[in-house]
Each structure stands twice: as C-alpha cells, then as structure tokens.
Amino acid sequence: MAWGGRLFTRRLWLAAGVSAPLGWSLAVPRLLIRREGSSLRVSAPQIRFLTGKALEQLRNGFKVGFISQISLCGNESGTSVLSKSVDRFVLSFDLWEQKYEATRLGPPMRSISRLNVPAAEAWCLDELAPIPPSLTPSRPFWIKLDLRVEDPKESVAIVGEPGISLRRMVEIFSRPPRNQQQWLESAGPLRLQDL
C-alpha cells in the first residue's frame, strides 16, 4: 500500500511538472507596457508575425512591409480613443547569411540587420507611444495594437514625395485588411500611477 502511494505521488509530481510550463506560457502577457518619461514603451515579444505568406515572400527574396497602429483608449471597447500612433517597417532576408534586416521608416528612420526571426519580430514591435495630456495618473486606459502586412497596392499611396502619409495610414486602419494578415492585441485596464 505504501508503494502504491509513492507511485501515485510520483505520477502527480510528474504531471504537475509537465503541465506547469504550459500554464506559465499562457499567463505571459502579449503586450508589455512600461513608462519612459512622457511616453509609454509598448513591446510585444510574444507576437509571431513572420509566418505564412509573409515569411514565404521574404525567403523568396522579396521585401515585406508592415504597418502598425497603437491606440490609447479610455474604454475597453476602443471607442474612446485618446491618442494613436502609426508606424511602418520593412523586412528583408539575406539569403547568404540566412538573417533578416528590418528598417523602421517613420521618423526617425532606423535600421538593424543580422537578426533571427524572434529578434526581428521583437525589434519591430518595440515602440514608443506618447502619453496624451488628458491621461491622468489614476485614469484607467487600454492599449490596442493593430499590426498588418502591408498590401503592395496600398504602399504606393502611403509613401509619397514628402514622406509617409499619416492620413493614408489612418484610412487603411479604418477598414479590415484586404489580405487577412492581421494581428490584434490589447492590454488593460492600466493606470499611469502603476507603471
């Protein structure tokens, strides 16, 4: 009887050990937010967007553009938008080195190379969002991230002679994506006094 109890205990510990990492991975937030002066740093190291057709295009030597929008909202539904920031970045793949290069196009333009997939995704989804003056320390707010693969037909309208057209990017985010490659994440309620 004592041996049966030990066997049961060992199986219980084994089951707990196997299932614990799964439970922990589900608890990891998809958006990480911290305060940096008058801005919020929003990062999304858990989001995997270099997959499917976008990854296939990169591996075939094409550049792939992405557009992102971060919204600070006064309610969970996102109807009370306090501020929005839009950004555009382009990825390419070096066939010889088997590494990725990422370029953020919205001012200031920045570029980084020799990245693996997780590092490229993390670098692209690390953004600063200005804190709007209407956001008091105790007021609850939500952050929403909308990331889309850029439609090549729309990139001509986004990039013009003077630079990136923010008006055109806002128009793009006001409708569903044409190519269905979209990632939506949100975090909240948050308070500035807690960050």
Token pair recorded at residue 59: 């591996």
pLDDT over 80 at 17, yes or no:
no
The yes-or-no verdict on residue 57 having pLDDT over 80 is: yes
Percent of the chain with pLDDT over 90: 52
Q: Taking the model in full, what pTM does it have?
A: 0.70
Report how far residue 10's alpha carbon sits from residue 57's, in angstroms, rounded to the nearest whole number. Answer: 49
Phi-psi region of 98 (alpha: psi -120 to 50; beta: other; left: phi over 0): left
The pLDDT score that the predictor gives to residue 77 is 85
pLDDT of residue 24: 42
pLDDT band at 120 (very low <50, low <70, confident <90, very high): very high
* Positions of E strands within 52-181: 64-73, 81-94, 99-104, 110-115, 126-130, 141-149, 159-160, 163-164
Q: So what's the pLDDT on residue 128?
A: 86
Each domain of the chain, given as residue ranges in start order, spans 1-28, 31-194
Q: Is residue 174 scored above 60 in pLDDT?
A: no
Each residue's pLDDT tens digit, 126-149: 988 899 998 999 999 999 999 999
Provide the residue count of the chain: 195
- How many H helices and E strands in the chain? 5, 11
Q: How far apart are the first and last CA of the chain?
A: 54
Predicted local confidence at residue 115, as pLDDT: 96
Distance CA 153, CA 135 (A): 37
pLDDT at 153 exceeding the cut of 80: no
pLDDT digits (tens, 9 = 90+) for 58-95: 999 999 999 999 999 999 888 899 999 888 999 999 98
Paired residues of 92 in beta bridges: 101
**Sign of the torsion angle spanned by Cα atoms 33, 143, 43, 112:** negative
pLDDT of residue 28: 63
Q: Is the pLDDT of residue 104 over 60?
A: yes
* 159 has a pLDDT exceeding 70: no
Query: Tokens 């958006």, residue?
Result: 31
